[in-house]
Amino acid sequence: AKQEGRNTFRLFEPKMQERAARHLAIENALRRALERNELTLHYQPQQCLKSGRILGVEALLRWKSAELGDVPPAEFIPLAEESGLIVPIGEWVMRTAARQMVAWMAAGLPPLVVAVNLSMVQFRQSNLPARVGAILADTGLPAGLLEIELTESVSMNQPEAAIAMTRALQACGVMLSVDDFGTCYSSLAYLKRLSIDKLKIDRSFIGELDTDHDDQAIVSAIVSLAGSLGLQTVAEGVESPGQLDFLSRLGCDIAQGYLISRPLAAPDMFRWLKSRAGS
């Protein structure tokens, strides 16, 4: 058994070193990603289930590193959070997304809401409302066209501070949504105290919506809970017409997912939106 333990240890050690080295390489490359213009945003549309109209887009970060190639956000965002790099990167995301919406409006698209993902690290910065205000002022984006997505865990942490921050952000006029809703346990009493506008139902509840009765019950409960709290619901990860149909019958407000469109680079999303607008 002792021998086995040692062998197991030897088997794992190189893997762990490999992982640590990869993390270090990502962090070093990420430090220079902004100045080297390696970051871009892709955009994924959100559709109103009642009217079929496109109401807005979610901005999703993409990184093509000179040294490492394409690195998925699920891999580099946790490291950006650990190192604090998420603060300047997150600021860049908000500014770039805001500028893009203003440019699209100037190019003739109807006003669209742009949703950006906000890290817990950013959410804890007391000057966040001032930064958001500065971005709106600099870019000229109307506050009501910016939506900030918080994860459910962000808002659970230090509840009183989170409540105060959502109030301060809403006072700026931006919209707030709780992302990945349903993956954490949050009390209804607490949810009610947050100043938020929307719940985004986590895509893990949407994938098997056509056949899974538990998921159907959960999604139905979330939609009715949101309705009674005066919140809108967004379903993410909608991939099939059956899912769309089910959500629509439940009274879910907005759908987002591959069925409508994959996230696309800005020029491609512009063309997609233009053709959808029927012009």
Using CB under 6 A as the criterion, which residues of the chain lie in contact with ligand C2E when the complex forms? 44, 60-61, 72-74, 77, 90, 93, 117, 119, 179-180, 203, 236-239, 257-258, 263
Between residues 27 and 78, which has the closer beta carbon with respect to Ca ion? 78
**Sheet strands (E) in 83-187:** 113-117, 146-151, 175-181
Bridge-based pairing state of the strands 254-255 and 146-151 = unpaired
Q: In angstroms, what is the minimal distance from the CB of 55 to ligand C2E?
A: 16
> Do residues 181 and 150 make contact, with C-beta atoms less than 8 angstroms apart?
no
Contact of residue 119 among ligand C2E, Ca ion, none (CB under 5-8 Å per partner type): ligand C2E
Contact of residue 197 among ligand C2E, Ca ion, none (CB under 5-8 Å per partner type): none
Q: In angstroms, what is the minimal distance from the CB of 195 to ligand C2E?
A: 20
Contact of residue 147 among Ca ion, ligand C2E, none (CB under 5-8 Å per partner type): none
Q: In angstroms, what is the minimal distance from the CB of 236 to Ca ion?
A: 5
Q: Is the dihedral of CA 228, 229, 232, 237 positive or negative?
A: negative
Contact of residue 44 among ligand C2E, Ca ion, none (CB under 5-8 Å per partner type): ligand C2E
* Helix and strand totals (H; E) in the chain: 11, 10
Q: In angstroms, what is the minimal distance from the CB of 115 to Ca ion?
A: 7
The CB density around residue 103, as the number of other CB atoms within 10 Å, is: 13
Contact of residue 170 among ligand C2E, Ca ion, none (CB under 5-8 Å per partner type): none
Cα–Cα distance for residue pair 235/237, rounded to 1 Å: 7
Between residues 180 and 253, which has the closer beta carbon with respect to Ca ion? 180
Which residues fall within 8 angstroms of residue 39, CB to CB, at 6 or more apart?
Answer: 33, 61, 62, 63, 89, 92
